[in-house]
């Protein structure tokens, strides 16, 4: 298959893409990490079993879910707890959870399980080893959990509307990987094909967690009423995803992994550019696109939030999708670079939510143009990390003006421009966002404000008579981190968020949304400006259904036959 000439439509300008309001409008796509994982599990015919399910009638005990790939096996080890309501908190400062998990590298022995039982339920206070790849926990959605157990125990299926309203039975909070709390470093697994794409360990862990949670709820119903209990109807069962509650802890990641973020965005932008460059579209590809657009419209109807900002965004997105469906009625999408014409229309006609959903939808008909880009989404961060001291100060100046032009235009003496401070609390090292002028936290500021720091560096740079970056940094070591960032962004165009992360109006949920959308999450439901709930794997097949059902086509609700 000949690829279209991608120079025909250049990827979007980072100054357009890397703004927080746009990143905060991203949606899942073919390049989301959950879909990359399930495509692989399906294509390689992974098999799954449950060697241990030792849970008592109160719902406490342990279970093991093992995934067997072509070369290796991985096991989710789950510990279920009977948690009193007053201890149920999804904040990092919590100390107990309804369920805790680790992904074990291989198949654990009983000794491994005993060791893990002493540590995994304690999460950050425990210790895991190089045999473990992740550490996570989840709490029940109490209202839906009780309803589902009651209904199944009584021999009934739960109410569909209640299921739709919440969408999951348990919410994970932190899912730790990459060497945290003693776990194996990323380098240990990075060379394995199944973990080449980012966050595959974490996505596998959550995929197996969903299977465990559904088994657990059925087990609880059966334990309560062995004579009357029924299992969930398989179609209704797939409507349960796994929730996640994510706070500020995730936000710094976007700033501390610039090369990786570049890989994600560059892959997505390359996909969009390839599709926009297509000179024509085959009728069946147009039909696929129309069908996905209708499914996306249904998805918007299923998306609930109580947050005023998100409610307004969803309302606007609903109108956007109506406009898209109208446009599709009349548009000729077969010739004359049809997707580019549609895209340019969308840039004028739709809100950011609608535009970014359009970007995701355009990828759906074109697996052969898009899916291979998944192999470009990792990053060798070391390759671009070291400072190039030989760069001239003249070049650094031009680079700073190019990457941080938006920051140099900000009046940093305005208190609103640096109203916030990113810092770490000594309480369980929880990342927080403070008020610079009303809280005593400025001395603890983390370097998560590249715009302000670039502006400060630039001021010293234009006053400096040093010839090279090496000389400049010798005199100004406080600028070392931001010079590194500038040089990384010079090599990798989408590495830097081109927006003020400490402005009075900053919404950390925009940063969380960008990362979670790449995971493949949906139903973003901000609970404040710094905390968001999402749903993962809703409508996806369960491990035992892979093969019989697509590992890829599940991210939008399915049309009913009448709507087809």
Partner 1 sequence: MTWSLNEIESLSRKAARGAGLSWGLAEEAGKAARWLSAAALPGPRVLADLLTRNDGRDYETLCPHDEEEGTWVARGGTLCPLISGATLCDQADQLAQGRAIRLGRTASPMLLLPYLDAAAQITGCEITISWDGLTVACGPEAACLGPACNGPLDTDITESVTIRPESLTDGMPLPRALRGDMPPETAQRLAAFAQRTYAPETEESRLSGAGAGLTDND
Of 68, 72, 131, 186, which one interacts with partner 1 (CB under 8 A)? 186
* String of DSSP letters for 481-500: HHHHHHHHHHHSTTSS--S-
Residue 245 lies near partner 1 (rule: CB under 8 A): yes
Instruction: Pinpoint the alpha helices (H) of 27-90.
Output: 33-43
Residue among 327 and 476 whose Cβ is closer to partner 1: 476
Integer CA distances (angstroms), 225 to 213, 232, 241, in order = 19, 15, 25
Residue among 380 and 414 whose Cβ is closer to partner 1: 380
How near is the Cβ of 436 to partner 1 at its closest, in Å? Answer: 12
Give the x-and-dash track for 26-65 against partner 1 (CB under 8 A).
----------------------------------------
Q: Which two tokens stand for residue 547?
A: 């093969």
- Give residue 106's region: left, alpha or beta (phi > 0; psi -120 to 50): left
Residue 178 lies near partner 1 (rule: CB under 8 A): yes
Stretch that binds partner 1, among 19-27, 74-82, 140-148, 364-372 (CB under 8 A): 140-148
How near is the Cβ of 6 to partner 1 at its closest, in Å? Answer: 30
Between strands 99-105 and 73-80, the pairing is antiparallel
* Helix or strand (DSSP H, E) at 306: none
Residue 528 lies near partner 1 (rule: CB under 8 A): yes
Give the x-and-dash track for 484-523 against partner 1 (CB under 8 A).
x-----------------------x---------------
* Helix or strand (DSSP H, E) at 557: none
SS3 137: strand
Stretch that binds partner 1, among 5-13, 65-73, 172-180, 411-419 (CB under 8 A): 172-180
Subset of 187-206 contacting partner 1 (CB under 8 A): 187-188
Cα–Cα nearest to 494, from 11, 3, 83, 139:
11
Residue among 450 and 520 whose Cβ is closer to partner 1: 450
Q: Which two tokens stand for residue 233?
A: 């109807």
Subset of 453-482 contacting partner 1 (CB under 8 A): 469-470, 473-474, 477-482
Instruction: Pinpoint the alpha helices (H) of 18-155.
Output: 20-23, 33-43, 110-117, 142-153
Quote the CA–CA distance of 153 and 383 in Å, as a whole number: 57
Instruction: Pinpoint the alpha helices (H) of 82-233.
Output: 110-117, 142-153, 160-166, 186-189, 200-224
Of 31, 55, 370, 441, which one interacts with partner 1 (CB under 8 A)? 441
Quote the CA–CA distance of 24 and 244 in Å, as a whole number: 17
Q: Which two tokens stand for residue 141?
A: 């959605």
Of 1, 330, 390, 562, which one interacts with partner 1 (CB under 8 A)? 390
DSSP 163: H
Residue 444 lies near partner 1 (rule: CB under 8 A): yes
Residue 154 lies near partner 1 (rule: CB under 8 A): no
In terms of C-beta distances under 8 Å and separation of at least 24 residues, what long-range contacts does 221-228 make, across chains too?
221/148, 221/149, 221/151, 221/152, 221/153, 222/152, 222/153, 223/56, 223/57, 223/59, 224/57, 224/149, 224/153, 225/153, 225/154, 225/155, 228/153, 228/154, 228/155
Q: E strands within 177-273?
A: 241-246
Residue among 138 and 206 whose Cβ is closer to partner 1: 138
Cα–Cα nearest to 255, from 32, 519, 451:
451
Binding residue count for partner 1, defined by CB under 8 A? 69
Subset of 59-88 contacting partner 1 (CB under 8 A): 85, 88
Of 130, 332, 372, 414, which one interacts with partner 1 (CB under 8 A)? 130
How near is the Cβ of 515 to partner 1 at its closest, in Å? Answer: 14
Residue among 243 and 338 whose Cβ is closer to partner 1: 243
Subset of 529-558 contacting partner 1 (CB under 8 A): 530-531
For the four alpha carbons of 141, 147, 153 and 157, in that order, the dihedral sign comes to negative
Subset of 258-297 contacting partner 1 (CB under 8 A): none
The number of C-alpha atoms within 13 Å of 16 and in the hemisphere containing its C-beta is 9
Of 182, 230, 253, 318, which one interacts with partner 1 (CB under 8 A)? 182
Give the x-and-dash track for 410-439 against partner 1 (CB under 8 A).
-------------xxxxx-xx-xxxx---x
Of 68, 91, 224, 341, which one interacts with partner 1 (CB under 8 A)? 91
The values of phi and psi at residue 90, to 5°, are -95, 10
How near is the Cβ of 443 to partner 1 at its closest, in Å? Answer: 8
Of 447, 460, 504, 550, which one interacts with partner 1 (CB under 8 A)? 447
Residue among 248 and 407 whose Cβ is closer to partner 1: 248
Where do contacts with partner 1 occur on this chain (CB under 8 A)? Answer: 85, 88-93, 127, 129-130, 139, 141-143, 178-188, 245, 247-249, 385-390, 423-427, 429-430, 432-435, 439-441, 443-444, 447, 469-470, 473-474, 477-484, 508, 527-528, 530-531
């Amino acid at each position: 298959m000949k690829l279209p000439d991608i120079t025909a439509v250049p990827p979007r300008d980072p100054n357009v893409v890397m703004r927080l309001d746009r990143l905060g409008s991203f949606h899942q796509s073919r390049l989301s990490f959950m879909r990359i994982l399930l495509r692989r599990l399906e294509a390689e015919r992974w098999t799954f079993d449950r060697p241990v399910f030792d849970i008592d009638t109160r719902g406490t005990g342990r279970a093991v879910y093992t995934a067997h790939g072509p070369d290796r096996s991985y096991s989710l080890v789950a510990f279920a707890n009977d948690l009193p309501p007053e201890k149920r908190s999804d904040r990092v400062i919590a100390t107990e959870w309804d369920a805790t998990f680790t992904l074990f590298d291989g198949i654990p022995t009983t000794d491994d399980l005993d060791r893990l039982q002493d540590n995994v339920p304690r999460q950050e206070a425990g210790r895991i080893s190089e045999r473990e790849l992740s550490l996570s926990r989840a709490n029940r959605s109490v209202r839906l959990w009780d309803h589902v157990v009651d209904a199944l125990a009584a021999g009934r299926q739960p109410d569909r509307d209640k299921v739709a309203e919440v969408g999951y039975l348990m919410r994970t909070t932190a899912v730790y990987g990459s060497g945290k709390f003693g776990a194996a470093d990323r380098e240990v697994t990075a060379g394995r094909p199944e973990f080449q794409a980012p966050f595959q360990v974490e996505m596998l862990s959550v995929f197996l967690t969903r299977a465990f949670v559904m088994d657990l709820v059925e087990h609880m119903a059966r334990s309560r009423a062995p004579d009357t209990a029924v299992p969930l109807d398989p179609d209704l069962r797939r409507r349960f995803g796994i929730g996640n509650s994510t706070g500020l802890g995730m936000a710094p990641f976007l700033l501390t992994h610039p090369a990786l973020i570049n890989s994600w965005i560059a892959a997505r932008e390359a996909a969009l550019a390839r599709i926009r460059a297509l000179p024509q579209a085959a009728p069946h590809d147009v039909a696929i696109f129309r069908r996905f657009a209708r499914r996306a419209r249904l998805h918007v109807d299923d998306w609930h939030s109580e947050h005023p900002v998100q409610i307004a965004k969803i309302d606007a997105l609903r109108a956007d999708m109506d406009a898209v469906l109208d446009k599709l009625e009349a548009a000729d999408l077969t010739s004359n670079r049809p997707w580019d014409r549609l895209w340019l229309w969308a840039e004028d006609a739709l809100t950011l939510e609608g535009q970014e959903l359009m970007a995701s939808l355009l990828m759906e008909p074109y697996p052969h143009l898009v899916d291979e880009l998944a192999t470009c989404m990792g990053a060798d961060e070391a390759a671009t990390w070291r400072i190039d001291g030989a760069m001239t100060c003249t070049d650094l100046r031009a680079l700073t003006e190019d990457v941080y032009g938006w920051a140099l235009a900000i009046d940093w003496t305005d208190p609103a421009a640096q109203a916030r401070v990113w810092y770490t609390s000594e309480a369980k090292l929880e990342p927080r966002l403070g008020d610079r002028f009303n809280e005593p936290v400025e001395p603890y500021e983390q370097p998560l404000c590249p715009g302000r720091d670039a502006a400060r560096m630039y001021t010293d740079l234009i006053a400096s008579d040093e010839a090279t970056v090496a000389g400049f940094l010798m005199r100004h070591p406080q600028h070392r981190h931001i010079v590194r960032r500038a040089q990384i962004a010079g090599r990798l165009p989408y590495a830097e968020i081109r927006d003020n992360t400490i402005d009075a109006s900053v919404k950390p949920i925009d940063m969380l949304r960008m990362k979670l959308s790449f995971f493949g999450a949906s139903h973003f439901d901000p609970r404040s400006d710094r905390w968001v709930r999402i749903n993962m794997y809703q409508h996806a097949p369960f491990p035992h259904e892979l093969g019989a059902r697509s590992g890829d086509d599940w991210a939008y609700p399915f049309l009913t036959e009448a709507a087809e």
